[in-house]
């Protein structure tokens, strides 16, 4: 979402920022500052409380609060006179967001964005909430009344305010610091988490829990691994049924591919319409792994459509992937995506429109709130629709496929949702991983090329060999990289290496991984801190591992340690992986279902990875060994190809020679390798 260009009555300290979200607020009458030493110093010098407002560009209620309160002259005047006002893009500064989201959850029992937090000049929170209307309504205090009351309390009850702030800050620190490391990890951690996840499975509509309904991709990925081991039909049903219902719902963009963020109902029908890069990266990975596990081509089709959408709409000319698109267009949520029967008929004609409206559930009166319009969904299986219409199923599907590009072309004439075109290193790592994995599984060169372009952009613009930066926009890279930036990019580069066998990706992954260990590793208790130790602008240095909408930095880092340990034969890396799991062992024991990505890494370490070492004269002919792996779900397998550039990086490459002139494979467990073979089918037999 961007504001129209032209003369502005106001300009504040955000005008020089690169974040689209911050720039949206650069001409509010509120005297916003970015989070900076200048703003924090001013709060201390003037002894004023800080009003911290955190949101992101695709956030619908952030736009609402801006229109209602931050563009209100009276509210702005009061904020400017009595507070230091700081605006933060949560995607640029997830470290700040994590701290004050925890405070908000502790104070109110829930969280969300926009986040509205009031701090003492030394950054301790004394009041917190999310969206506030401009005047009293819906049981919420009006924002002007709230800030007037808080200002009065700050001036007249300062001691009480500061005591409360210290109490909240202490609780936040406790919540975001890992408990003491465990000595051992119980054997049933993964089984207990799987049981907990399955208890929340919705047998009617798929997915987990009720409305609002999120994809829970990491839960699905963990379930797939447990099914691989147990072959429990209940588990694979929960996975495939959830993926099918999500893909048939309005949460999936039926015309262009890609998923919206979540469903407001339990049927996946009406989404919250923003599209996030990280959701689509994680969902693409999930559909690809489920396709490998089941061979169901419909799962591969959804994965392709997600990746095609990402290339078409989310990849920048430089190569990196953009962050998100808005829920709103022309000030209305979902307006770009929804249809009336009349609009469909104007594109397709009456006969085809009758069929397509029946298929996509576009009905008179609509299904989306009170707009009279419908989100496209496939609530009934196509065979039932075909029977109702009295036509062969094949004819129905052919007609729908012909109609899709026509409807998409018509939709493209509408005013599109705003694009948040900043490029985040951690989210790019997730999409590079998914894109490379998709290229490998589906044998699609265009996905590999997209992943290469993004990998090159990260190494060119975000990494200088010593320092990894978090964000890039308008030709400017800045902000210190956090644990998640390092870990996710390492994961993406590892997947890009396995998909292409190009040594540069593995070498770069190891370089960034070594730097990550230097900057974030907790040598005392194991595991990783989320931020650098020199960041004086943070209330605490957090060390957390619970997986939310994205996997935690510690979860990805632990998985990387295990993969790299098996790839290189370096047992020190495997020991660090184990220490990371032990660092969060108490949390895993108490609430393992909150750590699905970490349990995926633990599963790999416990199962013990097989490493496939490939050697060939001139590096040719290795595809015959990789071909059978493309369609096979092998979560405990890593592979490396012999190359002079990689010889110093992996002890497993030492002494590995081809059998005569034939490409040759060695299957290794730890540093012990089975006899070599030149027969690809023998490799499949040797891999568990």
- Has residue 1 been placed in a domain? no
Q: Distance between CA 150 and CA 161 in Å, rounded?
A: 10
- Positive or negative: CA dihedral 50, 55, 57, 59: negative
Domain of residue 311 covers: 189-329+420-607
Residue 363 half-sphere exposure toward CB, CA atoms < 13 A: 10
Would you state the pLDDT for residue 4? 40
Mark whether 317 and 369 lie in a shared domain. no
In tens, the pLDDT along 583-612 reads: 999 999 999 999 999 999 999 999 988 999
Mark whether 398 and 426 lie in a shared domain. no
Could you tell me which residues come within 8 angstroms of residue 134 by beta carbon, excluding any fewer than 6 positions away? 68, 69, 72, 75, 142, 143, 144
Q: Distance between CA 2 and CA 86 in Å, rounded?
A: 20
Residue 5 has pLDDT above 70, yes or no: no
Residue where a domain stops, chosen among 394, 413, 432: 413
Mark whether 642 and 563 lie in a shared domain. no
Q: Distance between CA 105 and CA 546 in Å, rounded?
A: 15
**For the chain, percent of residues with pLDDT exceeding 90:** 89
Average pLDDT across the chain, whole number: 95
Q: Distance between CA 607 and CA 601 in Å, rounded?
A: 10
Residue 670 has pLDDT above 50, yes or no: yes
Both structure tokens of 585 = 């062992």
Mark whether 664 and 591 lie in a shared domain. no
Mark whether 615 and 601 lie in a shared domain. no
- Has residue 3 been placed in a domain? no
What separation, in Å, do the N-terminal and C-terminal C-alpha atoms of the chain show? 50
- Has residue 95 been placed in a domain? yes
Go through 528-556 and write b for each residue having 16 or more CB atoms within 10 A of its CB, e for each that does not.
bbbbeeeeeebbbbbbbbbbeebbbbbbb
Mark whether 574 and 626 lie in a shared domain. no
Mark whether 470 and 599 lie in a shared domain. yes
Would you state the pLDDT for residue 1? 42
CB 559 within 8 A of CB 552: no
- Least Cα distance to 448 among 456, 440, 460 occurs for 440
Residue where a domain stops, chosen among 413, 435, 463: 413
**pLDDT band (50, 70, 90) for residue 623:** very high
Mark whether 458 and 590 lie in a shared domain. yes
Residue 314's domain is classified under what CATH number?
Answer: 1.50.10.10
Residue 92's domain is classified under what CATH number?
Answer: 3.40.30.10
Mark whether 493 and 540 lie in a shared domain. yes
Q: What is the CA radius of gyration of the chain?
A: 26
- Has residue 183 been placed in a domain? no
Number of domains the chain contains: 4
In tens, the pLDDT along 17-69 reads: 999 999 999 999 999 999 999 999 999 999 999 999 999 998 889 999 999 99
- Has residue 4 been placed in a domain? no
Would you state the pLDDT for residue 294? 98
- Has residue 658 been placed in a domain? yes
As a whole number, mean pLDDT of residues 368-374 equals 87
- Has residue 182 been placed in a domain? no
Q: Distance between CA 685 and CA 665 in Å, rounded?
A: 12
Would you state the pLDDT for residue 7? 62
**pLDDT band (50, 70, 90) for residue 177:** confident
The pTM score is 0.95
Would you state the pLDDT for residue 456? 98
Q: Distance between CA 247 and CA 263 in Å, rounded?
A: 12
CA angle 475, 261, 304 (to 5 degrees): 80
- Has residue 181 been placed in a domain? no
Residue where a domain stops, chosen among 413, 444, 463: 413
Mark whether 25 and 165 lie in a shared domain. yes
Mark whether 519 and 577 lie in a shared domain. yes
Would you state the pLDDT for residue 215? 96
Mark whether 447 and 559 lie in a shared domain. yes
As a whole number, mean pLDDT of residues 166-188 equals 90
């Amino acid at each position: 979402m961007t504001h129209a260009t032209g003369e502005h009555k106001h300009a504040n300290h955000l005008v020089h920022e690169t974040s689209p979200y911050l720039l949206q607020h650069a001409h509010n009458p509120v005297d916003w500052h970015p989070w900076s030493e200048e703003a924090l110093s001013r709060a201390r010098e003037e002894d004023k409380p800080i009003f911290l407002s955190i949101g992101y560009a695709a956030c619908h209620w952030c736009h609402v609060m801006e229109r209602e309160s931050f563009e209100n002259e009276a509210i702005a005047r009061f904020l400017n006179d009595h507070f230091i006002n700081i605006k933060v893009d949560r995607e640029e500064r997830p470290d700040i967001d994590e701290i004050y989201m925890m405070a908000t959850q502790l104070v109110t029992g829930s969280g969300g964005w926009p986040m509205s937090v009031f701090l003492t000049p030394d950054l301790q929170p004394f009041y917190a909430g999310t969206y506030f209307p401009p005047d009293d309504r819906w049981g919420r205090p009006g924002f002007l009344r709230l800030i007037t009351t808080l200002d009065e309390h700050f001036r007249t009850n300062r001691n009480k305010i500061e005591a409360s702030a210290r109490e909240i800050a202490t609780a936040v620190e406790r919540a975001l610091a890992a408990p003491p490391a465990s000595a051992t990890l119980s054997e049933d951690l993964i089984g207990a988490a799987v049981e907990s996840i399955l208890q929340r499975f919705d047998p009617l509509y798929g997915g987990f829990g009720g409305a609002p309904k999120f994809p829970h991709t990491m839960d699905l990925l963990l379930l797939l691994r447990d099914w691989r081991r147990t072959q429990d039909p209940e588990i694979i049903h929960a996975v495939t049924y959830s993926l099918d219902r999500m893909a048939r719902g309005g949460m999936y963009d039926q015309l262009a591919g890609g998923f919206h963020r979540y469903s407001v109902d339990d049927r996946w029908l009406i989404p919250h319409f923003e599209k996030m890069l990280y959701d689509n990266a994680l969902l693409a990975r999930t559909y690809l792994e489920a396709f490998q596990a089941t061979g169901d081509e419909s799962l591969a089709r959804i994965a392709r459509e997600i990746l095609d959408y990402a290339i078409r709409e989310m990849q920048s000319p430089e190569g990196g992937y953009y962050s998100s698109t808005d829920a709103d267009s022309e000030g209305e949520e979902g307006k770009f995506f929804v249809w009336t029967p009349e609009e469909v008929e104007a594109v397709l004609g009456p006969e085809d429109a009758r069929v397509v409206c029946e298929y996509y559930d576009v009905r008179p009166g609509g299904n989306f709130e009170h707009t009279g319009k419908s989100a496209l969904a496939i609530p009934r299986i196509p065979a039932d629709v075909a029977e109702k219409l009295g036509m062969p199923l094949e004819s129905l599907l052919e007609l729908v496929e012909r109609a899709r590009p026509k409807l998409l072309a018509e939709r493209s004439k509408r005013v599109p949702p705003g694009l948040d075109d900043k490029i985040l290193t951690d989210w790019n790592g997730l999409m590079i991983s998914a894109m490379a994995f998709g290229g490998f599984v589906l044998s699609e060169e265009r996905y590999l090329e997209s992943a290469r372009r993004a990998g090159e952009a990260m190494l060119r613009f975000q990494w200088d060999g010593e320092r990894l930066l978090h964000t890039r926009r308008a030709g400017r890279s800045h902000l210190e990289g956090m644990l998640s930036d390092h870990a996710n990019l390492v994961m993406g580069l590892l997947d890009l290496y396995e998909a292409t066998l190009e040594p540069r990706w593995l070498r770069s992954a190891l370089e960034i991984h070594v730097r990550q260990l230097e900057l974030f590793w907790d040598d005392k208790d194991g595991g990783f801190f989320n931020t650098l130790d020199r960041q004086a602008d943070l209330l605490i240095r957090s060390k957390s591992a619970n997986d939310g909408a994205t996997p935690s930095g510690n979860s990805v880092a632990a998985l990387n340690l295990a993969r790299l340990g098996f790839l290189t034969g370096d047992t020190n890396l495997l020991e660090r992986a184990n220490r990371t799991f032990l660092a969060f062992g108490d949390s895993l024991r108490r609430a393992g279902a909150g750590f699905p990505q970490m349990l995926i890494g633990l599963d790999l370490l416990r199962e013990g990875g097989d490493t496939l070492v490939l050697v060939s004269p001139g590096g040719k002919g290795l595809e015959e060994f990789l071909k059978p792996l493309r369609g096979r779900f092998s979560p405990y397998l890593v592979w490396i190809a012999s190359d002079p550039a990689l010889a110093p990086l992996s002890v497993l490459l030492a002494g590995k020679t081809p059998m005569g002139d034939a490409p040759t494979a060695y299957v290794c467990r730890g540093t012990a390798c089975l006899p070599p073979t030149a027969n690809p089918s023998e490799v499949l037999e040797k891999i568990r």
